[in-house]
Structure 1
Amino acid sequence: MEFLKKHLAWLTDQGLCLFVSFLTGVRPKAAGSLAFNPEKKVYYANHGSHGDFVLVWISLPRRWRMRVRPVAGADYWLTNRLKRFIIRRVFNALLIPRAGGNPQAVTEQMTEALQNGDSLIIFPEGTRNTDDDVVLLPFKSGIYHLAAANPDVCFVPMWIN
C-alpha cells in the first residue's frame, strides 16, 4: 500500500506541475541560476490564492522539490482525504495550526524543519490578499522571528503576478 501511495503522489506531482505549467506558463528555473543547493532556504512571496505555493513549487528545479516544504494551515488542508493526501504526500507540507495562539511554537516548528535541511515556502502576509490592487499586505512578525532564529538560512523573495 505504501508503494502505491508513493507512486500516486509522484504521478499527482507530475500531473499538477504539467497542468499548472500549461495554464500559467511557469517553468522550473535551471538549478545553476539559483543559489547552489536546495537546502535551508525560505522562499517567501505575496499571497493571493490557495494555489500560490504550487507556483513557487513548480518554479524550482524538480530535484529540489524533495527538500522544499510549503508551510500551510492545518485547518484548511486536513478537512478531507484528498486535501490530506495532496498536502502530506505530494507536497510534504509543514502543517501549522493557525488558530493555535502560540506563534513561538510555529517558529520553532519551522526552525526544526530548516535545521533538518529542508527549505520552506511561506507567505508572510499571513493571509491571502484578494484585493484587486497589486499591493502587499503588511508582513506578520513571524518572518522576522524565523530569520532571527536562523541566521544561516537564505531568505529568497519571490513575486507572484
Structure 2
Amino acid sequence: MLAKLVGWLLLGVVRLLTGAQARWYGCPPKAEQRIYFANHQSHADLVMIWAALPEELRSITRPIAARDYWANTPVKRWITTEVFNAVYVERQAAAPEPSAEAPEEARAVDPLAPLVEALRSGDSIIIFPEGTRGHTGEPQKFKSGLYALATQFPEVVLVPAWIDNVQRVMPKGEIVPVPILCSVTFGAPIRVEAGEERRPFLDRARAAVIALRDV
C-alpha cells in the first residue's frame, strides 16, 4: 500500500514538473510484452519514461536501473525496488574486469542476466542501449545488449522511443529539478531481420530512435 501511494505521489510530481507527455506515433499503447529502447541523457530518463506509460503498461513494465546510482542509498533503493520494480544492472564502468585468478563463476557473470530473467518471466522492460548518458544531444553508438536480447526473445516487440528535454529538468550535477515540458515519443516497432548482423541492426535501431526526435 505504501509503495502504491508513493508511486502516485511521484507520478504527480513528475507530471507537474514535466507534463510527461506520451506520443504514440508508430504504435498504440498495448499490453503485450515489449522492449522499449530509448536515448539516454539523464538519470531522470528512467522516471520520465515510466511516468509516460499508462497505468496498465506501468504495472507490467520494468525499467533498468544502474545499481551503483539507484541502489546507493536506502531511499533510492526502496523506490526503485518497490515503486518502479526496476531491474538492477551493473554498469561496465562501475564493475572491475575480473582477473584470470578470479573464480570461474565470477568471471562468467553476464550483465544481461537480470534482463533475461525479467523477459523470461513475461515482463516488458525499458532499456537504454547507449549504456551511459550522452551529453551531445545525439545518442552514442548502441551497445550489443539490445541485439542479444532481440535475438534471444524474437517474439518480444521492440519499440523505439525518444525522450525529449528531460536532461534540462535534471542537469548533470544538479539535485533540484527544474520544471520543463518533456515528452516521450514511441515509434513503430522494429525487429532483427533474417541474417542481419549485430552492428547493422544496432545502427538501424539507433536511427529509429533519432528519427523520432523531430516527429
TM superposition score normalised by structure 1: 0.84
Q: Is the 8 A contact 2:130 2:142 kept in 1?
A: yes
| Counterpart check, 1:67 vs 2:60 | yes
- Scaled by the length of structure 2, the TM-score of the pair is 0.64
- Work out the CA distance in 2 between the residues paired with 1:84 and 1:21: 22
CA distance in 2, matches of 1:159, 1:73: 20
Query: RMSD in angstroms over aligned alpha carbons?
Result: 2.1
What residue identity is the alignment partner of 2:8?
Q
Match 2:14 to one of 20, 25, 44: 20
Change in 2 beyond 3 A, CA 1:27/1:15: farther
Aligned pairs, number: 150
Structure 2 residues not aligned, in runs of 5+: 98-106, 165-215
Q: How far did 1:104 drift?
A: 7.0
Following superposition, the deviation at residue 26 of structure 1 comes to 1.5
Does 2:147 match 1:144?
A: yes
Is 2:30 the counterpart of 1:36?
Answer: yes
Structure 2 counterpart SS, 1:21:
helix
Cα distance between partner residues in 1 of 2:146 and 2:157: 12
Distance in structure 2 (CA, Å) of the matches to 1:136 and 1:29: 20
Name the CA shift for 1:95/1:103 in 2 (closer, same or farther; >3 Å). Answer: farther
- 2:118 pairs with 1:110: no
Letter of the 2:85 partner, please give it.
N
Q: Does 1:120 align with 2:125?
A: yes
CA distance in 2 between partners of 1:35 and 1:11 (Å):
24
Letter matched to residue 7 of structure 2: D
Q: Which residue of 2 aligns with 1:90?
A: 83
Task: Provide the residue aligned with 1:76 in structure 2.
Answer: 69
Determine the C-alpha separation between the residues in 2 that align with 1:29 and 1:62: 15
Higher helix share: 1
The verdict on how the C-alpha distance between 1:97 and 1:16 changes in structure 2, with shifts beyond 3 A counting, is same
Aligned mate of 1:157, from 157, 160, 185: 160
Greater CA drift, 97-106 or 59-68: 97-106
CA displacement, residues 97-141 of structure 1 (integer Å, 9 cap, x when unaligned): 22265797232321221121101011001001123xx21111111
Q: How many angstroms apart in 2 are the aligned matches of 1:104 and 1:57?
A: 28
Letter of the 1:64 counterpart: L
Distance 2:142 2:21 in 1: 27
Tell me how far apart the structure 2 counterparts of residues 78 and 128 of structure 1 sit (CA, whole Å).
Answer: 18
Q: What letter corresponds to residue 139 of structure 1 in structure 2?
A: F
Asked whether the equivalents of residues 44 and 123 of structure 1 are also in contact (C-alpha less than 8 Å), the reply is yes
Structure 1 residue 157: Cα displacement? 0.5
